[in-house]
Amino acid sequence: MKISRARGTQVLFGKEALLFEHIEEVFKQTSQGFGFAPMATPIFESSAVFSRGLGESSDIVSKEMYSFEDRNGESFTLRPEGTAGIARAFVTEGLSQHSPFKVYYQGPMFRYERPQKGRYRQFHQLGVENIGITSHLSDLEVIALGHEFLNRLGLMKNCELQINSIGDEESRAAFREKFVNFLAPFESELSEDSQKRLKQNPLRIFDSKSESDQKILEGAPKLEESLNSESKLFRDLIFEGLSQLGIPFHPVSGLVRGLDYYTHVVFEFVTKDLGAQGTVLAGGRYDHLVEQMGGPSTSGVGFAAGIERLALLLEDRATQNLSDIMVIPIHGDLEMEAFKITEKLRKLGFKVFSHFSGNMSKRMKKAHSQNLKAAVLVGPEEIESQIFKVKDFRSGEQMDVAEKDLEKALKTLLSDTNSKK
């Protein structure tokens, strides 16, 4: 039987893997700069963690979870997102003593869905959670972190922050009644998914991708019309705060997000560069999730972003090399001498590619195929004089460099190469 890669998974290698590492490193530095600490949760949890936290009517729980029973008959689920597991840990691991609890995470997630560009069944997500603060400033800090992260990646110029308030429970109950009454005459015209959502969680109909559903929704009542005074004040404080921080935003009345734990303000950074699936980074406030996990009433706010989607937006910038230099012996009997120089350069911090077969011509071709920037050529005369030939692949020039000056010359060459990209 032929063994193949599981559908909806991917293998990361070379420049693609380096691009993922770059995104993760920028995220790490940005998060730590905002005072967030790293956190890792188990890759699988009790299924109740997600069904309770995300909502039985959500697409993730109803259609996409990878769940299984262990040998004791207990149901577990590969984590489909990060927030519910962190809220569970906040309760069961006694982490409330660290309030405000500010953490960032990154790692693989799992959802059974149709694979497509930038969307996999095993995908990689990064995110932050800020738990234990009721103030709107917590929301502002998380949104500002997301904005700064995308800005450091160079993506913010092509992204727009969309934001909405879905209100508190009282506001949503008032809206639900109006919304259901509006949709009742159209029930038979709604898509199958929306007909189910009408009975379980009507707000989720705003997420429908059906064109006929969206046409019906054009005449629907607006959620903001049902916001009570507390919800309006919370929304307005965040809108005012974003303006004062100089973060542009665009209110979108139909934005509700797809998970049941959200309350008050939700947001998405979106781009047109990914086609219809334009969400890059998204999140919002959740005031009851910790309570649903068995803890005290505790507010939280966070966001998540898919690394695959970020990588798609950055793929034309994936130019970082695994190595910059190759040390090439002119004759095969100088292999060990070349290897000794290779090791010296590595200890000085250079990224040196090794290749131990073929004549000089073949090794030069290999260096070009690896997109290396320079080669150090080692021959009998070079060993005797301790003056080596350094080949600059960008300019094609070759220069003689004494061993004592090799570090400085290579650093200058690499610096010039980077500045002229």
Question: Per residue in 251-288, pLDDT tens?
Answer: 998 787 766 778 899 999 999 888 777 899 999 999 98
Kind plus residue range of the DSSP H or E element containing 279? strand 279-286
pLDDT tens, residue by residue, 154-187: 999 999 999 999 999 899 889 888 888 898 888 8
How many Å apart are CA 61 and CA 54, to the nearest integer? Answer: 7
Q: What are phi and psi for residue 283, nearest 5 degrees?
A: 180, -155
Whose structure tokens read 């970020």? 310
Integer-rounded Cα Rg, in Å, for the chain is 27
Q: Nearest 5°: CA angle at 342, between 336 and 345?
A: 145
Higher pLDDT, 407 or 261: 407
Phi-psi region of 4 (alpha: psi -120 to 50; beta: other; left: phi over 0): beta
Q: Average the pLDDT over each of 76-85, 89-98, 255-264, 363-372 and give the range with the smallest value.
A: 255-264
Identify the CA nearest to 391 among candidates 334, 328, 335: 328
For the chain, give the mean pLDDT.
89
Q: Quick check: 55 pLDDT over 70? A: no
What are the chain's domains? 14-168+228-317 (3.30.930.10), 325-419 (3.40.50.800)
419 falls in which pLDDT band (50, 70, 90)? Answer: low
Among residues of the chain, what percentage have pLDDT more than 90? 56
- For residue 212, what are the CA distances in angstroms to 57, 200, 388, 399? 21, 20, 72, 69
Look up the pTM and report it: 0.84
Residue 346 is predicted with a pLDDT of 93
CB 108 within 8 A of CB 123: yes
pLDDT band at 194 (very low <50, low <70, confident <90, very high): confident
